[in-house]
A = this chain, B = another copy of it.
Amino acid sequence: METPPGYRALDESSLPGYLAGIDAVIARLGGGPADWQVREVGDGNLNLVFIVTGPAGGVAVKQALPYVRLVGESWPLPLSRAFFEHEALTAQRAAAPAQTPGLFHYDHGMALTVMELLRPHVIMRKGLAAGVRYPRFAGDIACFMAHTLFGTSDLALPAAEKKRRMAVFCGNTALCRITEDLIFTDPYRVAELNRWTSPQLDGIAAEFRADTAAKAAVSELKGKFLTCAEAMIHGDLHTGSIMVTESDTRVIDPEFAFYGPMGFDVGAVIGNLLLAFFAQAGHETDSDRRDGYRTWILDQVREVWTRFEATFLELWRKHPTGDLYPAGLFADAAGQAELERIRAAYMARLFSDSVGFAAAKMIRRILGLAHVEELETIADPDLRAACETGALRLARDMLVNRGSYPTIGDVTAAAPEFLEKRN
């Protein structure tokens, strides 16, 4: 495979020599290359990820490969995704510093970023499978989304500045294409990359492929994804892109970032929490019942939206610095009251988008190419299929009947009903 001049994929033995030329990294690690331990830990689908530790501290190194790691060299993917990821990380670090890893170094030619090593953080998805509670998660992720989405939108930025930023991300089409195909199209048609728990889900997978109402609904969402440039979105904000401890929450891997609909990020968090909710039955044992944990997950679904909405509205009321809804137009008492109605309608529309995107993301994780660990690790295929069926039934209803879910309470009330249908 051809790669750009100057690019070479690093490995555990070549990485220390490369890092030895970067002052910020040397300062962070302490000692010299001979003192550094390197481990390749990439368990994602696309890239190389190294953890490097030295006498003084550690760093994480992420390098893009010119193909999809999960599939191999037969599926090329441009190295430019490292550039878009770095652009997004920089913007997120400015908007939500407490939830974004620190950045030490970016090498465009090598498609490589050196970041803060997050430890003892774990990928949140693993914690959700293990039944661990993270008391700061809901508030932190709500804070991250509110600040990054509001702060890059026309509510906060002058139009020219927003368009300048948006133009940069217009180039990230290869990664957008993955979303367009794998989320909004393939699960609803015969596609080579689709897979599901078979034969248990063969019937329901066929139902989705024949479900014209679901296709219409998911295509409407695809239309928003293609045309609705509301804010710089993370673009892949599932629980595998969130690293947590009991006291800290960080968002990583924004290589799918571009200017798109805000509800795509909010829906990713909600949809992945709901997948974890349905997966619990596959992990509970007589000595580890998960009823209380299921309730905790639904509490987080509600808290994520409620806190996101409150923080977003607080930012809007206090910092309306963008060109949309200029304060001067609504300065008097009647205008202020009207502006509150506008805000309420805006949040209701954003919530509706989020419900739709959450549903689309749940469906693609069960019927499409990329699955989720908390379902995949359920060894008994009948039990796994039962968990997946409940998630699919809820998601299909959320997708097609979005109007039946006007509030987050309607979502959290419905989820247990679909859980029972698996029995």
Contact = CB atoms under 8 A, between A and B. Distances in A.
A226 to B, nearest CB: 5
A229 B188 CA distance: 26
A106 B210 CA distance: 52
Determine how many copies of this chain the complex contains. 2
Contacts of A163: 170-171, 173, 176
Interface string A89-122: 0000000000000000000000000000000000
A324 B212 contact: no
A342 B223 CA distance: 12
A215 interface: yes
B335 A215 contact: yes
User: Chain A: interface residue count, which band?
Assistant: 35 or more
Given A215-B335, A227-B229, A189 B329 contact: yes
A208 to B, nearest CB: 11
Kindly name the residue among A166, A332, A337 whose own CB sees the greatest number of chain B CB atoms within 10 A. A166
B329 A215 contact: yes
A374 interface: no
A185 interface: yes
Contacts of A173: 159-160, 163-164
A342 B154 contact: no
Interface string A164-206: 1011001101101100100001001100000000000000000
Interface in A307-342: 323-326, 328-330, 332, 334-335, 337-338, 341-342
A350 B215 CA distance: 21
A353 interface: no
A216 B342 contact: yes
Contacts of A229: 227-229
Contact of A215 (B167, B189, B330): B330
A174 to B, nearest CB: 8
A335 B171 CA distance: 33
A223 B154 contact: yes
A230 interface: yes
A69 interface: no
Contacts of A215: 329-330, 335, 338
Contact of A341 (B162, B210, B216): B216
A219 interface: yes
Contacts of A341: 216
A20 interface: no
Contacts of A324: 219, 222-223, 226
Contact of A154 (B177, B227, B328, B330): B227
Contacts of A210: 332, 334
Contact of A219 (B223, B226, B228, B329): B329
21 contacts: A159-B173, A159-B226, A160-B173, A160-B177, A163-B173, A163-B176, A164-B170, A164-B171, A164-B173, A180-B323, A185-B329, A215-B329, A215-B335, A216-B342, A219-B329, A222-B324, A223-B324, A226-B324, A228-B228, A228-B229, A229-B229
Given A163-B173, A185-B326, A227-B229, 18 more contacts: A154-B226, A154-B227, A159-B177, A160-B174, A160-B177, A166-B170, A167-B170, A170-B170, A212-B330, A212-B338, A213-B338, A215-B330, A215-B335, A216-B338, A216-B342, A219-B324, A222-B323, A227-B230
